[in-house]
Amino acid sequence: MFKLDCSNLSPFLPADWLDSRADALAHARALLETGSGAGGNFTGWVHLPRDYDKAEFARIQAAAQKIRSDSQALVVVGIGGSYLGARAVVELIHSPNYNLRKKDSPDIFFAGNGLSTDALAEVIELVKDRDFSVNVISKSGTTTEPAVAFRIFKALLEEKYGKEGAQGRIYATTDARKGALKGLADAEGYETFVVPDDVGGRFSVLTAVGLLPIAAAGIDIQALMAGARQAMDDLALPGTDNPAWQYAAARHALYQSGKSTEILACYEPSFRFFAEWWKQLYGESEGKEGKGLFPASVEFTADLHSMGQYIQQGERLMFETVVGFAQPRAAISIPHDPDNVDGLNFLSGKALEFVNRQAMRGVTLAHVDGGVPNLSLTVPARDAESVGALIYFFEYACGLSGYLLGVNPFDQPGVEAYKNNMYALLGKPGYEELKAQLEARLD
């Protein structure tokens, strides 16, 4: 399992920060493992890497293969937990430049994750003259953003390929029984995949929600699940040497010591969307009842030239969790320059990775000296197995952490407030009274 280096917490926390939470962690573990805590009917993800539906998994692989053979692009329509996981994994394992690279898998475009006209128009422009398929993903099947985008891409596909042709290019991932998307998929005869009842959106990346687009992008989903399975077995073991216990306890101890913000940092730009996925995971799971660490993220070393100033000397409200990968895939060494006008010959012949590592070491010490506690997680590689394990690590630690905090980590009641206002302002039937109230306030 990964190593979580907690040594840079010692200037900030009492020596017993972990041991003093061992009983609470054992209790949180039991709640997670048995599904008997708050929100326990949404803990299907805990044993998913072992218990996942193998027949559906084979259908996902077959559908991905079909998409790879008949499509130059795949449009993934979904928002929140129905989008972030797939994008996180594709970018982390492949690259943020995945679509620009030479490959034998389709370009992947994400749509329906907002309401921007220009963003949607851009995706339409990029796919309309190419062979493409659509994977529409919505657990509830009623979320406005993906529903609107899907209407548009469905019409585009039907115009291009006819109703029947479009039917063979639309894949719907949704609830097994209910919701408008399920009804539509059944009526139109789309191939459907299931978001299990007991898995919430932000914990769904290892279901068809994430697996179909990830497989279509040519990533080995068997290896992804194998990595998650190994993590599941390792992290179920009780004890203060368990890195998920350490991470959950450290977050709780730092929160109780007055820290209000956790910054997730990485020195790999391909990690950016993984951090977005992590923000949703922790933000939606813990930010409720007036409680919870605010999850933020930075990309180093780029953000050392922007947020670095605040982190070093601004209000002392944060700690950092740094994710590092043991080895880069490529090797670049810094060339010798006989003129040495830039004064960099002291680095000639050195690997760029060596420079990155020294930056990381120097930043950690500078930030700790500046009052920012530091946790450091080392992941062996940017491959499917390690990323599967990393997903499971953060999910499991999130469940533990939520229970330590005393919240239900598996609901998101706050998301409804904006939806109700938006429905009312749009004139959705049934919202007339709220519409009148809101418009009176806005006028």
Phi, psi of 208 (to 5 degrees): -55, -25
| Pick from 199, 202, 197: nearest CA to 82 | 202
Selected binder of ligand PA5 within 143, 207, 242, 270 (CB under 6 A): 143
For residues 113 and 85, is the Cβ–Cβ distance under 8 A?
Answer: no
Selected binder of ligand PA5 within 91, 262, 284, 383 (CB under 6 A): 284
Residues 73-112 close enough to bind ligand PA5 by CB under 6 A: 79-82
Structure tokens given for 377: 């997680």
In angstroms, rounded to a whole number, what is the distance separating the alpha carbons of residues 168 and 186? 13
Residues 8-67 close enough to bind ligand PA5 by CB under 6 A: none
In angstroms, rounded to a whole number, what is the distance separating the alpha carbons of residues 354 and 340? 20
**DSSP-H helix ranges across 136-271:** 144-167, 180-188, 208-216, 221-235, 243-256
Single-letter residue type at 347: L
Instruction: List, in order, residues 6 or more apart from 375 with CB less than 8 Å away.
Output: 4, 5, 6, 8, 9, 247, 250, 319, 320, 321, 322
Torsion of the alpha carbons at 108, 114, 118 and 122, rounded to the nearest 10: 10
CB of residue 417 to ligand PA5, shortest distance in Å: 13
Residues 189-208 close enough to bind ligand PA5 by CB under 6 A: 200-202
Q: Which is nearer to ligand PA5, 207 or 246 (CB)?
A: 207
Distances (CA, A) of 107 to 91, 110, 128, 213: 12, 10, 13, 10
The number of C-alpha atoms within 13 Å of 283 and in the hemisphere containing its C-beta is 17
CB atoms within 10 A of CB 66: 16
Selected binder of ligand PA5 within 139, 182, 251, 252 (CB under 6 A): 139
CB of residue 113 to ligand PA5, shortest distance in Å: 9
Beta-bridge mates of residue 299: 266
CB of residue 6 to ligand PA5, shortest distance in Å: 29
Q: Does the active-site annotation cover 154?
A: no
Q: Does 146 bind ligand PA5 (CB under 6 A)?
A: yes
Q: Which is nearer to ligand PA5, 78 or 373 (CB)?
A: 78
The active-site residue out of 284, 286, 299, 320 is 284
CB of residue 102 to ligand PA5, shortest distance in Å: 33
Greatest Cα pair distance, the chain, in angstroms, is 76
CB of residue 145 to ligand PA5, shortest distance in Å: 8
CB of residue 74 to ligand PA5, shortest distance in Å: 18
Residues 201-240 close enough to bind ligand PA5 by CB under 6 A: 201-202
Residues 349-378 close enough to bind ligand PA5 by CB under 6 A: none
Selected binder of ligand PA5 within 138, 192, 207, 246 (CB under 6 A): 138
Q: Which is nearer to ligand PA5, 141 or 373 (CB)?
A: 141
Question: Which residue is nearest to ligand PA5, using beta carbons?
Answer: 201
In angstroms, rounded to a whole number, what is the distance separating the alpha carbons of residues 283 and 264? 12
In angstroms, rounded to a whole number, what is the distance separating the alpha carbons of residues 131 and 157? 9
In angstroms, rounded to a whole number, what is the distance separating the alpha carbons of residues 393 and 277? 13
Q: Which is nearer to ligand PA5, 138 or 386 (CB)?
A: 138
Q: Does 279 bind ligand PA5 (CB under 6 A)?
A: no
The active-site residue out of 3, 178, 336, 419 is 419
Residues 400-439 close enough to bind ligand PA5 by CB under 6 A: 412, 415
Q: Which is nearer to ligand PA5, 49 or 200 (CB)?
A: 200
CB of residue 172 to ligand PA5, shortest distance in Å: 12
CB of residue 264 to ligand PA5, shortest distance in Å: 18
| Pick from 244, 214, 213: nearest CA to 395 | 244
- SS3 readout for 57-100: HHHHHHHHHHHHHHCCEEEEECCHHHCHHHHHHHHHHHCCCHHH
Candidates 134-142, 160-168, 183-191, 429-437: pick the segment binding ligand PA5 (CB under 6 A).
134-142
Number of residues that bind ligand PA5 (CB under 6 A): 15
The active-site residue out of 305, 315, 416, 433 is 305
Q: Which is nearer to ligand PA5, 155 or 415 (CB)?
A: 415
Q: Which is nearer to ligand PA5, 37 or 373 (CB)?
A: 37
Q: Does the active-site annotation cover 27?
A: no
Q: Does the active-site annotation cover 419?
A: yes
CB of residue 404 to ligand PA5, shortest distance in Å: 20
For residues 102 and 224, is the Cβ–Cβ distance under 8 A?
Answer: no
- DSSP class per residue in 396-443: HHHHHHHHHHTS-TT--TTHHHHHHHHHHHHT-TT-HHHHHHHHHHH-
Question: Active-site residue numbers?
Answer: 284, 305, 419
Binding site for ligand PA5 (CB under 6 A): 79-82, 138-140, 143, 146, 200-202, 284, 412, 415
